[in-house]
Structure formats: structure tokens, C-alpha cells
Amino acid sequence: MSDVGVRERTRHGLPVLVAALSLVYGITGLAWLLGAGNYAFGPVPPDGERLSLLARVPDDVGAGLIAVLGILGVPAAIGHTRTEWSASVYRPLLGFTALQTVVFGLLAPSVTVVIMTGYLLVLVGLPAGVGWLIVGAWRQPATRVLLSGLAVVLVGLEVTTGLFDRAAFGEVAVGIGGVPAKVGTMPLFVTGAFLLGCGWAILGVRGLRSTRGQCLRCGRPGARWTRPESARRWGFWATVVAVLCPMPYALLRMTWLLPNPIGFDADDLNAEPGIKLFGLGLGLIALGAGIVTLGLIRPWGEIWPRWIPIVAGRPVPIKAAVIPGAAAATLLLVGSASLIGLLWSDEASLTENLVYQLILPFPLWGAAVGLATAAYYYRRRSTCTSCRQG
């Protein structure tokens, strides 16, 4: 591209939001550098686990980096709203944007964001989703029979294992109530860094599209592999991998219902019913994630099934699949960076670390979900309302 003005710059609120959040981290990083406590990206007490990759450097260095990038990020983010930048001047801004994305989106966050998301899905998403599906499925004779069978299974589990006893729910409630005192503000700052990194990444993608003469909204004209017929082929295999990745973890958790669970002592699990119940909830979330991902290549991923209330039979909006899929892929990839560093710096053996990676293959899972979601988008997107390309 010639050294001409970069024409299509976004004037939406994202650059302003990124600038505001950068200022927050700039001020907070400066406070940490001057001696304020509760530095969020250092080793986590009491064991000193280094969940964040930024914890590999001294706290003062990390705090200083956060302060400098946060403060400089304010004018840099606002720079993404300008229209008169020349391409040669704009490229350094893109380089700085990439640095911000790496630090805030990869080094500062940790697997904590994935853990928090999993916990929220168990506590809020699982009950809401089950209730929503029950309402819709009860309207259909075939699924009504399945629901009745499921109810019989749940009653059988309660009678044989006491899985849903009051003690289990009470233990879960007590555990949740004690979380704020244990973790403090660390998850808040980690999540904020993750969101800031995502904001910088979006600005970077928009900037690259602009310098290449592509539409900021859809990225057209794109490469050959983004065409629907091509995306259908490679997206199929990406989706298959994405569906299979959470299954080892889900099946491992389901063995907690057996007399001899894999990798755990049955007596220890029965002694802590809250942990057992919550662990099974995480297993169900993993199983549900695989099933939902399958919809990216199945007809019910384009038309809402009959057992979905209110929207049954209507086309599935592309954003309804793309936004959750992109968010899940980003969470898994960001969490995998710190998880791998945590595992391979531990005292566990090579075999144990490899087994753990097979049970929770975050890097492969995140990449597969990202590719599967991208293929779904490329296959279903219509004519762009901004550039009118189809």
C-alpha cells in the first residue's frame, strides 16, 4: 500500500474504552511501583504459585511495565480514531498495539480467567441452561419422554450416592462465600487485563485491515481459504477436534459417580460432597461445550431446534454462535499460556504433565474452537452492510 492516509478509521467507542482502561492500569501500576500492596500479577500466596507469566519477573519490573504501557496506551488508543495518519506513521502504532496485546492479553492474565468462567458457568449457566431446555423440551412428546427418563436417573443417583443432599449444597455455598477473602482483588485485575488485551487485539486487527485496504467490518477482500466452500472443508475437521478436546475431562469427572473413580479416592470424594457435586458440574459444562460446538457443522447450528423455547424454528443469528465461540477460544488460548508455564515449572514428572495436557488440552482446544468458529462465520456471513461485498 502506498504512503497515503489511512482512510477508514473507526470512530466508535472502543478506542475510548481501551484508553480509559489503560489509564486505570497506568495509575494502578504506578501505585504498585510506589509501594502500594496487593500487586495482582505476582506469585499467589500461600504457596507462591506463579499463575501469571508476568509473575516470572520481579514485582517492581512487572508493576513498572504495567504503569508505562498503561499511561502510554492512552494516546495510543486515541490514535486509532485518527483518519489522517499516513501508512508509514501508522505502522509503529500497530507495533505498539501488538506489544500491548501481548502484555495485557497474554502475559498478565492467567488460567484464573478460565477458572472463574468455569465456576460462573456451573453456578449460573448450568441451572439457567437446564431450566431453559426443560421448558422447551417439555413441549415436545419425544423429548418429554427423555426428560422423564432423565428425572428417573437423577432420582436413582440421589438414592444410591446422596449426590444432591443438603450437605453438598451447603458445602458449595460455604466454599463460594470464602472465595473473596482468599483471592482478594486479584481476579478483578486479571480479568480486566484480559479484557484490555482483547480490546487492543481488536484495534490491531482493524488497523491491519485498514493498512491493507480491507473492510474494517468484515475483512473483505480475503484470502481464498476464507471462501465458504473452502471454510466448509477445513472447518469440519477443526470442529471435530474442538468437540473431542473437552471429552477426556468430562468423562474423567463422570467417573466420580462410579465406585472406583479414575485418579481419585472414592472415600475422599464422599467425605467432601460439595467438591464432588461441583466437580461433576464442571464435567457437565465440558460435555455441554462439546455438544454445543458440534452445532457449528450441524443443521441445528443454523436453525434453532424445536425444543428451544421462543426461538424454535428461527434462523440462528451468526453472532449467537460467533461471539461465544470467539470468547471461548480466546479464554482457552490465554489460559493455556500460564497453565503450560505452571505445569512445566512444577515438580511433577514429564509423564504427569503430558497426561494433564491430554486431559485438559487448552492450546489445541482453544485453537480448534477458534478455527471452527471462524469457519462457521466465513460459511454463513452475508453481504457486508459497510463495504457491500458478498
Closest CA to 341 of 42, 114, 50, 40: 50
* Residue 92 CB partners (closer than 8 Å, separation 6+): none
Task: Check residue 4 and give its pLDDT.
Answer: 36
Task: Check residue 51 and give its pLDDT.
Answer: 78
SS3 of residue 142 by DSSP: helix
Closest CA to 342 of 55, 38, 39, 40: 55
Task: Check residue 9 and give its pLDDT.
Answer: 42
Task: Check residue 86 and give its pLDDT.
Answer: 65
22, 196 Cβ separation under 8 angstroms: yes
Task: Check residue 203 and give its pLDDT.
Answer: 92
CA dihedral 122→263→160→165, nearest 10 degrees, is: -40
276, 269 Cβ separation under 8 angstroms: yes
* C-beta atoms surrounding 90 within 10 Å: 21
Complete DSSP assignment for 155-189: HHHHHHH-TT-HHHHHHHHHHHHTHHHHHTTHHHH
- 63-to-26, 41, 272, 339 alpha-carbon distances in Å: 9, 8, 39, 22
Element spanning 193, H or E: helix 186-211
Cell of 202: 481488536
Task: Check residue 350 and give its pLDDT.
Answer: 66
Closest CA to 197 of 103, 80, 56: 103
75, 132 Cβ separation under 8 angstroms: no
Local confidence pLDDT in tens for the 390 residues of the chain: 333 334 444 456 899 999 999 999 999 999 999 988 889 898 876 666 677 888 889 999 999 999 999 999 999 999 888 755 666 777 889 999 999 999 999 999 988 888 889 989 999 999 998 888 888 888 778 788 888 888 898 888 888 888 888 888 888 888 887 777 666 778 889 999 999 999 999 999 988 888 878 887 788 888 889 999 999 999 999 999 999 999 999 999 999 988 888 888 888 888 888 888 999 999 999 999 999 999 999 999 999 988 888 888 899 999 999 999 999 999 999 888 877 766 666 555 667 667 777 888 999 999 999 999 999 999 999 888 778 776
342, 49 Cβ separation under 8 angstroms: yes
Task: Check residue 115 and give its pLDDT.
Answer: 86
The number of helices, as runs of H, and strands, as runs of E, in the chain is: 16, 0
Cell 456451573, located at residue = 122
Rounded to an integer, what distance in angstroms lies between the CA atom of residue 234 and that of residue 181? 47
Helical H segments across 45-109, by residue range? 59-79, 87-102
- 167-to-170, 250, 251 alpha-carbon distances in Å: 5, 24, 25
Rounded to an integer, what distance in angstroms lies between the CA atom of residue 387 and that of residue 376? 21
Q: How many residues does the chain have?
A: 390
By CB atoms closer than 10 A (0-12, 13-18, 19+), residue 233 is exposed
